[in-house]
Amino acid sequence: MNLSETFSEFKDLKNIDRVTLTRILQDVFKNAIIKQYGTDENFDIIINTSNGDLEIWHNRKVVADNEYTDPTSQIKLSEVQKIDEDYEIGEDFSESIDLSRFERRVILSLRQNLVSRLGQIEKDVLYQKYRERIGQIITGEVYQVWKKEILVLDEEENELLLPKSQTIPIDKFHKGDPIRAIVQKVEIKNNTPVIILSRTSNVFLERLFEAEVPEIEDGLITIKKISRIPGERAKVAVESYDERIDAVGACIGMKGARIHGIVRELRNENIDVINYTQNAGLLIQRALSPAKIETLKLIESEKRAEVYLHSEEVSKAIGKKGYNIKLAMDITGFQIDVFRVLDDDEEDIELEQFSDEIEPWIIQELKKIGLDTAKSVIELGFKELVERTDLEEETVKDILNILQAEFEQE
């Protein structure tokens, strides 16, 4: 008999190895034989999992008709000679048993048992397989795009889930598209393994660097820390254990060849690679790149740094929507307060002097993005102020009117 025809739902098993499959099938059919015949002592089960063939052989001893007492271990001489006249008493007779001989209730029980056993084993194997792959990159194919998640199929057509919250904001996928992500976690829901993927995890960026930079894979360069705003900007601190190797240069590659592949995968995410150092001041300077710092004051006990920059460097330090300074603080572990250094011929007014007209919490909001003087706020302009702060448009307009009025009076 052929299992692929008789039990078609088992022919596409993906995660069960042949040894395990054979063991389960033999066990299930052994139980079915016991239910049908009361014993399995005189039966052989032969399974070929490569083509789905199953053979059940019933082995009995040929006995004289008047000595026949046990139908499971004996067969009458008169009965066996209908098949072959040459059989004699005392010989062994083996007969192939077809499933059609089994009672309907036995067949139904067999099918149910087989579905349960194989289904559970397949789930267990899938769960363990992906538990071991957590943090690794997988390449799959988009099968379905829903409102909150994307269904991905791996090379064995196992179903994986990529939540929209774990996609880069400008990711656009359609059915059939290839996709790369890391295995973030594996959960059990309703007794079924659920494999969750991510493209926003820092680990995804780390694995992309390992794939593109052989020196990282070889252990010559280590990624010390990653800070990232997916799809926008990332900072990667690297360190070389071989003084002959330029860690930053190796990560970027000749003419940017290595990092360009990573940037494309991350939808043109702006990636800054910096040399790691235990010197906190130097690390802060590197992390605030491309801004050039005039002076820096560390308050180690508070894990805080005061950074002083010329006017034209402040916006660089803060970055678009405050991303640069946010990432710099994350990767260094320091709260960074940015202050504007006035040029000798430049007159300005500290924001604190407007506390009678501008509420203190608003002044603090402005300071968070490195604006501590009137002119620094005016020069940034209405559009940038709205984008970089949580202030309402009307509030921003009022602030600018107050500050500009002060200089008009002068």
- Distance from C-alpha of 141 to C-alpha of 174, rounded to nearest angstrom: 9
Q: Is 197 helix (H, G, I), strand (E, B) or coil?
A: strand
Placement of tokens 């011929």 in the chain: 345
Helix 202-212 to helix 257-265 angle (10° resolution) is 150
The pLDDT mean for the chain works out to 88
Domain 205-276, what architecture? Answer: 2-Layer Sandwich (3.30)
pLDDT, tens only, 102-132:
778 877 877 787 778 778 888 888 999 999 9
Cis peptide before 290 (omega within 30 of 0): yes
Asked if the model's pLDDT at residue 6 lies above 70, the reply is no
Q: Which of 259, 132, 262 is nearest to 193 (CA)?
A: 132
> Hey, where are the domains in the chain?
3-129, 133-200, 205-276
pLDDT digits (tens, 9 = 90+) for 52-91: 677 889 999 999 999 999 988 999 999 988 888 888 899 9
Contact 91, 119 (CB under 8 A): no
Query: Nearest Cα to 56, choosing from 109, 95, 114?
Result: 95
Residue 410 pLDDT level (bands cut at 50, 70, 90): low
- CATH 2.40.50.140 matches 133-200: yes
pLDDT above 80 for 34? yes
CA distances (Å), origin 86, targets 35, 66, 186: 33, 19, 63
Same fold? 133-200, 205-276? no
The per-residue pLDDT for range 192-212, each reduced to its tens digit, is 999 999 999 999 999 999 999
Q: Is 60 exceeded by the pLDDT of residue 400?
A: yes
Considering the entire predicted model, what is its pTM? 0.70
Q: Which residue has the tokens 């057509």?
A: 157
User: Which ranges constitute the DSSP H helices of 132-201?
Assistant: none
Q: Where are the beta strands (DSSP E) in 146-232?
A: 149-153, 159-163, 178-189, 192-198, 221-229
Which stretches of 255-373 are DSSP H helices? 257-265, 280-287, 311-318, 323-332, 360-368
Query: 132-160 pLDDT, tens per residue?
Result: 999 999 999 999 999 999 999 999 899 99
Using CA atoms, how far residue 49 sits from 1, 17, 99, 151, in Å, is: 12, 10, 17, 30
Check if CATH label 3.30.1480 holds for domain 3-129: yes
CA 128/CA 126 separation, integer angstroms: 6
Cβ pair 293, 308 in contact under 8 A: yes
Amino acid identity at 49: T
